[in-house]
Amino acid sequence: MSVEAKFWKPLENGEVQCELCPHFCRLKPGKAGICRIRRNINGKLIATGYGETTSIAMDPIEKKPLFHFKPGNYVLSVAPNGCNFHCDWCQNWEISQSKVPTQHLTSDLLVTIALRERAAGIAFTYTEPLIWFEYIIDVAKIGRPKGVSMLAITNGYIEPEPLDELLPHIDAMNIDLKSMNPEAYRKFTGGKLESVLETIKQSAKKTHIEITFLMIPTLNDTEKEIRKLVDFVESVNPKIPLHLSRYYPSYKFNVPPTSPEILINAYNIAKEKLSYVYIGNLPIHDAENTYCPECNNLLIERRGFTSAARGITDDGKCSKCGAKVDFVL
């Protein structure tokens, strides 16, 4: 299904310019943008992938990863067929970088499925969901009044104005930060670091956010880069959960997986300044658990994608010292 897109302007000779993300694609008639689902049709920008999903699945919310938002719940995951980045290590490249069959789900039907499955929320995920801008807002208008949370698992590559319009409809985000080096960003993703940092700052003021940093050997795993990352997160809010995730070879990237020692070292560096740090994709005792930043009481114990509340009271406080802890329950 297609609808007219938001955030674009007409140019000369039937061309249009999309203004949703910082690529600002200029599109000749008939052509699609980098994300492949926003296209110039008869001099208008059309969101051709509206509601067309490549996937539909129930996932533990911890898998997104979102550790501080409704822990222990399941969410319904859907994904558009496209992406505005071209990361060489993409784990979902089959659906992000190539055209595959999709299924159309109206916003009503998607919410109905989420309610039927008792999902705590709908996660727009797997590929880059913010290119589904119009669809996400339509789903949110139906789902949120019925108690279904809206979650965006995103690369954060969006312009400030559309983000401002989107944020009131979003309950939680995990934003993928891929490097602290602008050159590496440009070379490996096709995007600009500064725009993603701005998205993080803007989103943190309006909604619950967590950050994922996939540590890739040769690309972003030096101690210097980790310190830069930690300083940035601290400057926004030291209570933002940071997920340091282990890389495995995928798609076009074949350097060996991140060494556990490097991940643990990064974890220890991050813990010096941030309240909530986790290691993902590598089962290490403790590195997935949440501890009270005040008294170190075990708040949530996690194994794989399962979690159990151990030390949180019903009103969101540490059961040992009574400190208010940072969860949306």
Pick the binder of ligand SF4 from 16, 23, 64, 298 (CB under 6 A): 23
Stretch that binds ligand SF4, among 30-38, 89-97, 282-290, 293-301 (CB under 6 A): 30-38
Pick the binder of ligand SF4 from 25, 200, 209, 277 (CB under 6 A): 25
- CA dist 77 and 151 (Å) reads 9
- List the beta strands (DSSP E) in the chain: 3-4, 8-10, 16-18, 26-27, 38-41, 44-47, 52-53, 56-60, 74-78, 103-104, 121-124, 149-154, 172-176, 208-215, 242-246, 277-280, 290-291, 298-303, 306-309
**Which of 20, 177 has the CB closer to ligand SF4?**
20
| Run of H or E residues at 283 | none
Q: Torsions phi, psi of 233, nearest 5?
A: -60, -45
97 lines the binding site for ligand SF4 (CB under 6 A): no
Residues 120-159 that bind ligand SF4 (CB under 6 A): 131
84 lines the binding site for ligand SF4 (CB under 6 A): yes
Reference 156, options 124, 122, 121, 203; nearest CA is 203
The CB-of-8 to ligand SF4 minimum distance in angstroms stands at: 8
Reference 154, options 30, 4, 35, 3; nearest CA is 35
**Which of 131, 197 has the CB closer to ligand SF4?**
131
Pick the binder of ligand SF4 from 1, 4, 24, 303 (CB under 6 A): 24
34 lines the binding site for ligand SF4 (CB under 6 A): yes
Q: Residue with the closest Cβ to ligand SF4?
A: 33
Q: Which residues of the shown chain bind ligand SF4 in the complex (CB under 6 A)?
A: 18, 20-21, 23-25, 33-35, 38, 84, 131
